[in-house]
Structure 1
Amino acid sequence: MRLDVDNLACRRSGRRIFAGLTFSLGEGGALAVTGRNGAGKSSLLAILSGRLRPDGGRIAVSDVGESSLPECLHVVGHRDGLKSALTAGENLIFARDLLGAPRLMPHEALERLGLGHVHDLPVAYLSAGQRRRVALARLLVCARPLWLLDEPTAALDVASQDVLAALMAEHRATGGLVIAATHQALGLRDAMELRIDRAAEAPAAASEAADAEEWI
């Protein structure tokens, strides 16, 4: 898979968040998206996932057959997106059935994240770190080439961060792509960095800046 982004712009609440973003990722590529809170890191991921329409620019994907970009990606956002009443295993079954292209069985994915023992527990009973690992386990139940990760290490301890770094390395070794919005190092070896600074317009109010970091 190859992803090419040219001169991308974003506007939220009537304000230009960023403009002129250009980058390309080929097989096994990784991009760390950095910048202060409200700069537009999450908005960039929302545009790439198809959840937000860009204000300008072009996004092109190639070497994926007839699949569209949203059909090629996984998203792990600020919110874990889990159904609290379902067990950890049932949440992964739901993701597998929704996304298709099965890869690992739910219990295998949970084992990789050190959560084999919570397979039959409702997610509502899990800690914040465990919930985050269940969300990350979704990356493993279905095969999709592009991972979009928004602060993926949030609530993770050091051991779990190391597991995530290993999973991203394995994904890249098979040709997968990783784009991660982050405030800290993720162990993405040889990753490119894209720093986003707010476009030169009148400063937005604090509430608007916060809104720029939320998924719509």
Structure 2
Amino acid sequence: MSDARRRPPSSTDVAALAGVSQKTVSRVLNGEPYVTEEVRERVLAAARELGYRRNTAARALHLGRFHRIGVASIGSSLYGPASLLVALERQARQIGYAFAVAYAGEGGAVTSAVESLLAQGVDAVVISDPIDGDQDLRVDPDVPVLSFRPIPGLDGPRVVVTGPSGVEAGRQATEHLLGLGHATVWHVAGPHRWPAARDRARGWREALAAAG
């Protein structure tokens, strides 16, 4: 077998097969504008035919980006965290990003999980909910961070805290069931160590107390 056949296909090979310039191949693979749909499809078809895959390490060095999103999670053995990981991975893949997970574990070691992701090279970090424990986050990430609940020590212009209020969710669900005519509402709670579980239980209690 010749060396040419042994080496993996390159973007130059894709350009030659598609009949376009190497710059056009780069634009298509990077999702840039100013490329017609016909040319885009031709380049992608050539890449599939050749089995071409981008060298993500070289691309990261060139662009200073990794096209990878990191997630700090307590683990995937439980339904809530597992469902969230599946949803996040699906969305990342749809926009052309790889997905890396670092497990904080039951002890809530968020700091070490985030540091592990930053060491791997990621463009952003998602801190999954629920995260067990209330330790301060002792790290200064230089990438955007999305957290599904406030975390002590996590602050800065590139930090976004979002997500539904567990207290409000617990309250609304309880009020809805009471409104259906039930005399009371029982709550099967999550682990008490999880802030999200504590918030839902609080909302449940508040709704019952308000209803007498």
Give the structure-2-normalised TM-score: 0.32
Give the structure-1-normalised TM-score: 0.31
Task: Report the structure, 1 or 2, having the larger helix content.
Answer: 2
Q: Larger relative contact order (C-alpha < 8 A, sep ≥ 6)? A: 1
Task: Report the structure, 1 or 2, having the larger strand content.
Answer: 1
